Structure 1
Amino acid sequence: MKIRINKFLADLGLASRRKADKLIDEGAVLINQRKAKLGDKIDPEKDELTFAGKKFAAQQKESLEYWLLNKPFKVISAVTDDSGRKTTYDYIKTKTKARVYPVGRLDYESEGLLLMTNDGELAHRLTHPKYEIKKVYKVWANGIFSQTKMARLLSGVRLSEGRTSFDELELIEKEGRDLVLKVAIHEGKKREIRRVCAKVGWEVTKLLRVKLGSLVMTNLTVGNARKLTEEEIIGLKKLVGLYDENSNL
């Protein structure tokens, strides 16, 4: 499956789409040793991409790795950061020589489950709206609770990008204005949960992702990472139509 270069680079945390377009326009991105053009697409399974002077070889030439990181608070989901902030790659680079990238993004102040891999096709499908991969979060918020507000968040509110809603919403705990919620979504709008909760006067004070598709974070302390099991990899691939029982992982 071919995808636009700017999205590919953004999904891997290498650059925003806007920055990627700027670099493409400046001739800093190559596809199979030719200068890329705005709007070009690549096949992550076949094409070699050169970005900022570094080569990213075709996937079948690489040993694919899949890592689960318990992302800490105030860490950026990226490989590098122009502002010098700590990145998720900083927690992985001592464990593997593979260049693995975050799949989707947890924002700077969010915590929890983050998949990191060099499997570009799997990363693309897990973040593509077509596959509606469910992400589950434990959310701490402050505000006045009511069932009417719960119903509104499930039926939908309007953000600048359009109407959106939570797929699932459950009150886990309530003490005065302090709320603990379970939230499930399948979209990936920027700071979506925080912005949606704000529509009913709830301020999110902590956000922890606990599940991505079939992948669940258990017994992994903050800042630590581990390789996915074969069963976990198969589970994710089955969700997006990539599993072939006759092929090696």
Structure 2
Amino acid sequence: MRSSGRNSGRGNHRGAGNGRDDKQKRAGRPRPEERRYQTGTSGGPGGQGGQDGRGSGRGAAARGGAKGGPKQSQTRDGRTAPARSREYETRAEERNRERYAGKKQVQLPKTFPGAEQEGERLQKVLARAGFGSRRACEELIEDARVEVNGSIVLEQGLRVDPATDEIKVDGLTVATQSYQFFSLNKPAGVVSTMEDPDGRQCLGDYVTNRETRLFHVGRLDTETEGVILLTNHGELAHRLTHPRYGVKKTYLAHIVGPIPRDLGKRLKDGIQLEDGYARADHFRVVEQTGKNYLVEVTLHEGRKHIVRRMLAEAGFPVDKLVRVAFGPITLGDQKSGWLRRLSNTEVGMLMNEVDL
């Protein structure tokens, strides 16, 4: 009777019969104390072996039995490789360290891509100086128009130091540093200073938007118009105004005549002023309208009011004076009050004028 009741309980609807047996049926796995972990064989009690004899349950996942045991690796064809103990892996790692510990590290040459190299590539320096794109600068090098420290460059990729190397293009020195060079057509009434404590209009009013501090090269009288140079290159500014280099300045002066034919000769021979003789390098009459004359005077001296004083001493006071050239930099059609950046060629000519 007892066995028949147990058998009848198995056939009842879900929920009938012994509660403990029903829970085990729903769980579908043996009790904890009956579990066995697979080790790659067809399995023992509680295990389910696969077709190839390996367990697919929890024992297969552990690949070796209990937690903490050596894990097994699987080969490409699906077979399980023998497990390696932790001691074996440790000894193998120590052997590898001893094997490579005494090897010297390879020192890469400076030409290796990414290695730090001294200087900058020449075409990059030229491009930054304003000679066009890097490709255009490479063409300058290919055409043998670039020289470094007196030698013409015949190969690409040459590295230079912009601070110490002398670089020239077509024989003219290149300003490789962060220098700026401007020409201003100074209007009449503007003071030749960068700042004026009395609040008068000055040169600094034309360069207020510049990040770099600029200073003027020489001076012009307040009422004199024309070319005045602005730069942050101290050595160039110093040489351009030094009497040793004799940089010529050209002026157009409006005077009232008639003037004698020997006026030019007198100016070239020298006019006695209160601070010594002053001599003109060149003189010519540009235009004449009745008694009004427009004359051109070129000289390399830079004394105060020198052109006005020379002509006044000769008997011809100046009504209007314009400086139309400072060395190789000419006024051209630049309008009054306009500021323009000098070209690389102009900068090179200025430096060549003073042996830079």
TM-score, normalisation: structure 1: 0.70
Matched residue, 1:157: 271
Asked if 1:171 corresponds to 2:258, the answer is no
**CA deviation string 1:90-124 (max 9, x = no partner):** 11223x22111110001100001111001110000
Instruction: Give the Å deviation of 1:219.
Output: 2.7
Matched residue, 1:236: 350
Identity %: 38
Structure 2 counterparts to residues 197-216 of structure 1, below 5 A? 197-216=311-330
SS in 1 for 2:195: coil
Structure 2 counterparts to residues 1-249 of structure 1, below 5 A? 63-94=178-209, 96-242=210-356
| Paired amino acid for 1:86 | Q
Question: If you compute each CA radius of gyration, which structure gives the higher value, 1 or 2?
Answer: 2
**CA deviation string 1:162-186 (max 9, x = no partner):** 1111110001112333110011010
SS in 2 for 1:74: coil
Matched residue, 1:41: none
Contact 1:144–1:201 at 8 Å: present in 2 too?
no
| Paired amino acid for 1:151 | K
| Paired amino acid for 1:116 | L
| Paired amino acid for 1:84 | G
Contact 2:271–2:314 at 8 Å: present in 1 too?
no
Matched residue, 1:34: none
| Paired amino acid for 1:218 | G
Unpaired runs of 5+ in structure 2? 1-162, 164-174
| Paired amino acid for 2:280 | F
C-alpha distance in 1, partners of 2:238/2:257? 36
Contact 1:144–1:202 at 8 Å: present in 2 too?
no
Which structure: greater strand fraction? 1
Contact 1:143–1:203 at 8 Å: present in 2 too?
no
RMSD: 1.7
SS in 2 for 1:241: coil
**CA deviation string 1:132-184 (max 9, x = no partner):** 00001111112331112232112111111111111100011123331100110
TM-score, normalisation: structure 2: 0.49
SS in 1 for 2:198: coil
C-alpha distance in 2, partners of 1:126/1:218? 20
Which ranges of 4 or more aligned residues in structure 1 deviate by more than 6 Å? none
SS in 2 for 1:112: strand
Greater relative contact order, per chain length (Cα 8 Å cut-off, separation 6+)? 1
C-alpha distance in 2, partners of 1:200/1:160? 14
C-alpha distance in 2, partners of 1:177/1:83? 39
| Paired amino acid for 2:308 | R
| Paired amino acid for 1:145 | I
C-alpha distance in 2, partners of 1:97/1:63? 11
SS in 2 for 1:184: strand
C-alpha distance in 1, partners of 2:304/2:291? 25
